[in-house]
Each structure stands twice: as structure tokens, then as C-alpha cells.
């Protein structure tokens, strides 16, 4: 019984242990930032590696917490992403005064996400969700003296509090109409009566806020622009991925009887998200803002994949998120390096970047090609599987418009590539020496972009673990 | 149980929820916006307690949920007020209209 407890809660316990260890290090004698970052990166790697050993199915705490190989895989993806982000932010944190606090905030959100992904009860889900958003707002304000940073944090905390209020009102109505909070018992009591549909809409809008689907996307660009680059990377990859994982399992399992209702809602949300994300991405000059709108557009494609509601649907969403982690973090790796060393974040500053930093230029180009979905990179396969999963329902208008929008997205992704390689600039960003940690992160990202696309065993493995509606 | 029927309580809580939402959208002072959000969360609490008492008296799920919501609302308010204080230091104002460096 006790052994079960330790094995099932393995990943959460490891993260908790790291949090406590960091607290003790903080209380102990002062250490230099280089040593601290070395220790922390090692710990995060161990955390990632420990996710692969001895996992098993099971439930704990009266079905509040459940785990299975798919959930373990999802947590491993999040562990990998936080390790990569930590490696990339080395040059930013090297001179920062509050290194440990930064990691305490990030790891507590990670712990919240783990509980959210594993939740078998709406109460547990809500606790995990709040635990993963409240510290994140504090982390968004991490550049305490910057005006933009505090503005971003204010926008994040107010909009996330509003969205969780919507979600809670939905949950309270669900409790009133069904009498249960257990996710596996919900389907038996759901019958698509108007009050339940209203409750479902509120829950869905709470989710849509967190994954920043249009029309709930308004906070995204501002928060991404104002927050420090590492937090932006974390928001756009880890927190979005975690909510999407839960979203898929909640829609497929708990809201199964409402499948017809949410199919139509996803249709509208997804089209609006893809189109508006693309149109706004075209006119951005700030790199982080640009990636914010690009990530909004990507969420539209993920919603299309979710609508397939089959085993392919789940598998393609998780596969796409894995690729999205690699490609987005490769782009953010370069941006965080440039922003930490030179303080420049605009696309126009990147003109003629290739003449001074050929290696970084290639990395960001590969990342953008993968985000756009150009064949040799993994991004193409990710989007292809999403469209395939969505096409199973036979709604070809949806697929057609999404495919047309992929063409639009080429325009703005390739515009950046053009600025880097072809435009002339009298004062390009000077040569940047890449620290070893960042180099490692960039190599892993580029390798991931290429290998996940070419090695079919990755997709097959995810497919074998996932289940449909 | 005689007295107030469930629908009356639900009417109050729903009204409270939308009053909170209206306050959030119209007020320009950040502290007042935070208070509006607390109003919305409290309407959810009323919902949970009422449903629990009237419809499922043998369960405790709703009551527990309420306790957790109150706790988390306190944590949220603490972080939000810290952020607002920090924003006041850089902007000299807690009016949302003054925090408009990033748009579109």
C-alpha cells in the first residue's frame, strides 16, 4: 500500500523534494549563481530522467488522483520542457539576484499541473489549476523594476482570476445538476439539458481562457510581451500544454454525452482562433508578441485535432504538443539569448542576423519552418496528423479553411526568415557567444524537431497509449 | 424544510455573479476589480452550499469545495495585491487606464 503510494505519486514527490531542497539551499550560505544554476539544471535533469522508471496504473485518495502510462508520458513532456527552459534562461539568470525564488515559483506551478493532469475529481482539478496559475502571475512580474513586467502580471492575474470564476460557476452548476464531482461518474448524469449545457459553456470558456483560444485570447499577447522571456516560454509551452492535456481527457471522458454540443463549439472556436491568430501575427514587430499570436493560431489547429474525438485525435494532439515544445523552445532559446545579452526583442533588430550569428540563425529558421509546417521538419507531420484526425468527422470546410490558413502562416513565418537571411542592416546584432547550457538546449530542440518527425516509433508509441471517445 | 425555496437562493447567487462581472468590466480601479472577482467567487460559494443543503444533504462535496474556494481566493488576493503594489511603484497609479503600454 505504501509502496503504491510512492510509485504512483513518484513524479509529484520528486518535484516536491526539489522544491524543499531549494528552500534549504536558500536558507544556507550564499552560493554563486553559476553553482546554483549548475545544481538546479542537474536536479531538473534528474527529475526528467526519473519520470521514465517504474510507472504503473492506479488511483489514490479515493479516486482523487489517478495515473496511467499516458499521463506519465504527458508529465515527462512537461518535465522535459521545464528542463530545456531552465537551460535556456542561463544567461538571463546568471546575473539575477533571485535565482532560487524563480525556480520555486516555476516548480510549484509544475506541481500544480501534475495534480491537474492526474485529477479524477473536479475539486482536485480546480486546486491544480489554481496552483499552476497563481505562482505564474508572480513569476510574470519577475523583472520587478520593469513597467511592462508588472503590467503583464496584473493582466495575467486579473484575467486568470476571472476565468477561474467562470469555470467555478460552471462547476457549481454541474454539481447542482448531477450531484457529483467525480469525473468518471459525470457522464452517467449528463443529459444535455439547457442548464447543463450552460454549465458546460462556462467550463469551456474557463478552459479557453487558459489555452488562449479566440475570443478569450486578449491577455495572451500583452502578457507574453511583458513577462521575462523564460516565463513567456514557460507560459506558451508548459502551461498551455498542461491545460490542453486535461482539456482532451475532460472532453473525451467527462463530457462524453455532450459530444455533439462541444463539436460545434470547437468548430467555431477553432476557426476564429486560427484566423484571428494568423491575421494579428502578420502585423507584429515584437518577437515575443509575434510568437504569442503564432501560438494562438497553433491552438486553433490543436482544437481541430481534438474535434476528431478518436484515438488518432488524442495521439495527434499529444504528438503535436511534443513537437510544439521542441520548435517553440528552439525559437525562444535564441530570443532569450539575444534578449539577455543585447536587450533586443524586435524582429527588425534581427535583420542580417545571419551575417553575424549563422548558427543561431539556422536554429531559429529550423524552428520557424517547423512551426509553419514545412515537410522535412516535424511540424509538418504534427499538423498533418491533426488535420487527418479532424477530417475523420467529414467536415471538409473546416479542414479546407485550416489548410488555407497554413498558407497564410507561411507568409509571416518566412518574413522573419527573410529578415534574418536577406535583409541588409548596417548594425546587425553582434556575435553572441553561446553558453554551454544554452547550446545543449538548442541542440536537443533541433534534434527533437528533426527526429520526432522522421522516427515513426514516437508517434506509434503515443498512439498505443492513447484512447478515443 | 419550509421557508426559502432553492430557486430564490439561486437567483441571488446568479445576480451576484453577474453584478461581479459587471463591476469587473466597468470599474477602473484595480482593487475594486479584485473585489468584483471576489463577489463572483462568493456567488459560487452560495451556489455550492445551497445545492448541497437542498439537493444532496447526505453529501459534503459542496461544503468542502466552498472551503477550498475561500482559501484559494485569499491566496489569489494576496498575490494580486502584491502585484498591484509593485505596479503602483512603477506607475504611481492603480488605475487600469494608466497601464496601457502594450496594446494590440
CB A11 within 8 A of CB A72: yes
Dmax (CA) of chain A: 68
CA distance A378 to A369: 9
Mean of the pLDDT values across residues B12-24?
A: 94
H or E stretch at A66: strand A65-67
Q: Is the pLDDT of residue A189 over 60?
A: yes
Any domain includes B40: yes
Size of interface A-B (CB pairs under 8 A): 122
For A233-273, what is each residue's pLDDT tens digit? Answer: 999 999 999 999 999 999 998 998 888 899 999 999 999 99
- Stretch A427-449: mean pLDDT, rounded? 90
Q: pLDDT by residue (tens digit) across A20-61?
A: 999 999 888 888 888 889 999 999 999 999 888 877 788 888
Question: Å from A280 to nearest chain B CA?
Answer: 8
C-alpha torsion sign, points A352, A357, A358, A362: negative
Lowest mean pLDDT among A309-313, B23-27, B87-91: A309-313
Which residue, among A105, A94, A180, has the nearest Cα to A141 in the 3D structure? A105
C-alpha cell at A334: 535564441
pLDDT for position A370: 93
Question: What's the rounded Cα separation, in Å, for the pair A441 and B32?
Answer: 44
Tell me which residue in B83, B99, B102 faces A141 most closely, judged by beta carbons: B83
Nearest CA in chain A to B16: A169
Residue B31 covered by a domain: yes
CB contact under 8 Å between A134 and B76, yes or no, is: yes
- DSSP state letters, A152-204: HHHHHHHHHHHHHHHHHHHHHHHHHHHS--BTTTHHHH----HHHHHHHHHHH
Q: Considering the domain boundaries, does residue B46 fall inside one?
A: yes
Numbers of helices and strands, H then E, in chain B? 3, 0
Chain B residues with CB inside 8 Å of A293's CB?
none
The C-alpha of A225 sits at a distance from chain B's nearest C-alpha, in angstroms, of 8
The whole-number pLDDT of residue B36 equals 95
A59 φ, ψ (degrees, to nearest 5): -130, 155
* A322 pLDDT higher than 70: yes
Mean pLDDT of A197-222: 92
A88-128 residue pLDDT tens:
999 898 888 889 999 999 999 999 999 999 998 999 999 99
Instruction: Please tell me the total count of domains within chain B.
Output: 1
Whether the ipTM is more than 0.90: the answer is yes
Confidence band for B104, pLDDT divided at 50, 70 and 90: low
In a domain, B28, yes or no: yes
- The pLDDT of B28-39, averaged and rounded, is 93
Under DSSP, is residue A217 helix (H, G, I), strand (E, B) or coil?
coil
User: In this structure, what C-alpha cell is assigned to residue B84?
Assistant: 498591484
Query: In this model, does residue B1 exceed pLDDT 60?
Result: no
Domain that holds residue B23: 6-92
Q: What is d(CA A364, CA A332) in angstroms, rounded to the nearest whole number?
A: 9
When pLDDT is averaged across residues A371-386 and rounded to a whole number, the result is: 90
How much of chain B is helix, strand and coil, in % rounded to 5? 75, 0, 20
Task: Report pLDDT digits (tens) over A120-170.
Answer: 899 999 999 999 999 999 999 998 888 889 999 999 999 999 999 999 999
Q: What is the pLDDT of residue A465?
A: 86
Q: Chain B contacts of A145, Cβ < 8 Å?
A: 90
3-class DSSP state of A396: helix
Q: Kindly state whether B104 is in contact with chain A, defined as any CB-CB distance less than 8 angstroms.
A: yes
- How many Å apart are CA A434 and CA A428, to the nearest integer? 17
Contact A145 B90 (CB under 8 A): yes
Position B97 in a domain: no
Cell 439547457 found at: A194
Please tell me the distance from the alpha carbon of residue A378 to that of residue B33, in angstroms, as a whole number. Answer: 44
Do A169 and B48 lie within an 8 Å CB cutoff? no
Task: Verify whether the Cβ–Cβ distance B37 to A165 is below 8 Å.
Answer: yes
Question: What pLDDT score does A455 carry?
Answer: 85
Mean pLDDT for the stretch of residues A285-307: 92
- Residues of A within 8 A of B53 (CB-CB) are none
**Which triple of cell numbers denotes residue B87?**
505596479
Closest CB to B30: pick one of A126, A152, A154.
A154
Check which CATH number belongs to the domain holding B51 and give it: 1.10.287.3510
CB proximity B12 to A under 8 Å: no
The reply to whether A127 touches chain B by the CB within 8 Å rule is yes
Amino acid at each position: 500500500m505504501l509502496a503504491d503510494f510512492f510509485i504512483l505519486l513518484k513524479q509529484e514527490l520528486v518535484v516536491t523534494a526539489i522544491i524543499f531542497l531549494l528552500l534549504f539551499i536558500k536558507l544556507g550560505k550564499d552560493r554563486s549563481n553559476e553553482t546554483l544554476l549548475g545544481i538546479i539544471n542537474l536536479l531538473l535533469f534528474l527529475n526528467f530522467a526519473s519520470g521514465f522508471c517504474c510507472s504503473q496504473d492506479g488511483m489514490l485518495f479515493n479516486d482523487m488522483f489517478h495515473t496511467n502510462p499516458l499521463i506519465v508520458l504527458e508529465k515527462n513532456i512537461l518535465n522535459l520542457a521545464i528542463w530545456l527552459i531552465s537551460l535556456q534562461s542561463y544567461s538571463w539568470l546568471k546575473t539575477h539576484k533571485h535565482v532560487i525564488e524563480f525556480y520555486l515559483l516555476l516548480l510549484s506551478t509544475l506541481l500544480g499541473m501534475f495534480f491537474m493532469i492526474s485529477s479524477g475529481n473536479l475539486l482536485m482539478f480546480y486546486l491544480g489549476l489554481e496552483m499552476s496559475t497563481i505562482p505564474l502571475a508572480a513569476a510574470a512580474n519577475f523583472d520587478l523594476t520593469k513597467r511592462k513586467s508588472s503590467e503583464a502580471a496584473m493582466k495575467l492575474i486579473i484575467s486568470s482570476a476571472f476565468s477561474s470564476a467562470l469555470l467555478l460557476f460552471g462547476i457549481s452548476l454541474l454539481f447542482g445538476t448531477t450531484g457529483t464531482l467525480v469525473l468518471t461518474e459525470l457522464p452517467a448524469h449528463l443529459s444535455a439539458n439547457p442548464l447543463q449545457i450552460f454549465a458546460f459553456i462556462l467550463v469551456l470558456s474557463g478552459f479557453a481562457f487558459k489555452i488562449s483560444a479566440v475570443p478569450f485570447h486578449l491577455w495572451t499577447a500583452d502578457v507574453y510581451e511583458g513577462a521575462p522571456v523564460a516565463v513567456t516560454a514557460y507560459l506558451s509551452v508548459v502551461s498551455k500544454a498542461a491545460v490542453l492535456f486535461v482539456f482532451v481527457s475532460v472532453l473525451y471522458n467527462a463530457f462524453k454525452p455532450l459530444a455533439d454540443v462541444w463539436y460545434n463549439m470547437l468548430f467555431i472556436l477553432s476557426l476564429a482562433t486560427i484566423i484571428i491568430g494568423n491575421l494579428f501575427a502578420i502585423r507584429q514587430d515584437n518577437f515575443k508578441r509575434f510568437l504569442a499570436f503564432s501560438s494562438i493560431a497553433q491552438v486553433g489547429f490543436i482544437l481541430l485535432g481534438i474535434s476528431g474525438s478518436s484515438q488518432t485525435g488524442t495521439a495527434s494532439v499529444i504528438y503535436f504538443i511534443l513537437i510544439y515544445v521542441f520548435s517553440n523552445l528552439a525559437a525562444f532559446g535564441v530570443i532569450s539569448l539575444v534578449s539577455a545579452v543585447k536587450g533586443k526583442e524586435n524582429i527588425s533588430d534581427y535583420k542580417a542576423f545571419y551575417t553575424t550569428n549563422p548558427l543561431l540563425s539556422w536554429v531559429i529558421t529550423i524552428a520557424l519552418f517547423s512551426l509553419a509546417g514545412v515537410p522535412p521538419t516535424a511540424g509538418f507531420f504534427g499538423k498533418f496528423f491533426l488535420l487527418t484526425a479532424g477530417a475523420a468527422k467529414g467536415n471538409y470546410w473546416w479542414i479546407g479553411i485550416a489548410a488555407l490558413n497554413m498558407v497564410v502562416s507561411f507568409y509571416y513565418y518566412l518574413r522573419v526568415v527573410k529578415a534574418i537571411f536577406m535583409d541588409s542592416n548596417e548594425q546587425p546584432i553582434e556575435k553572441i557567444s553561446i553558453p554551454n547550457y544554452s547550446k545543449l538546449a538548442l541542440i536537443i530542440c533541433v534534434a527533437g524537431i528533426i527526429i520526432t518527425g522522421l522516427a515513426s516509433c514516437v508517434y506509434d508509441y503515443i498512439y498505443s497509449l492513447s484512447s478515443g471517445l | 424544510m419550509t421557508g426559502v425555496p432553492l430557486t430564490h437562493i439561486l437567483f441571488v447567487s446568479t445576480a451576484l455573479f453577474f453584478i461581479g462581472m459587471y463591476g469587473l468590466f466597468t470599474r477602473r480601479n484595480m482593487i475594486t476589480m479584485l473585489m468584483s472577482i471576489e463577489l463572483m467567487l462568493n456567488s459560487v460559494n452560495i451556489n455550492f452550499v445551497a445545492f448541497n443543503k437542498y439537493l444532496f444533504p447526505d453529501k459534503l462535496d459542496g461544503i468542502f469545495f466552498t472551503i477550498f474556494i475561500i482559501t484559494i481566493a485569499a491566496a489569489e488576493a494576496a498575490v494580486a495585491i502584491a502585484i498591484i503594489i509593485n505596479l503602483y511603484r512603477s506607475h504611481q497609479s492603480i488605475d487600469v487606464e494608466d497601464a496601457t503600454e502594450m496594446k494590440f
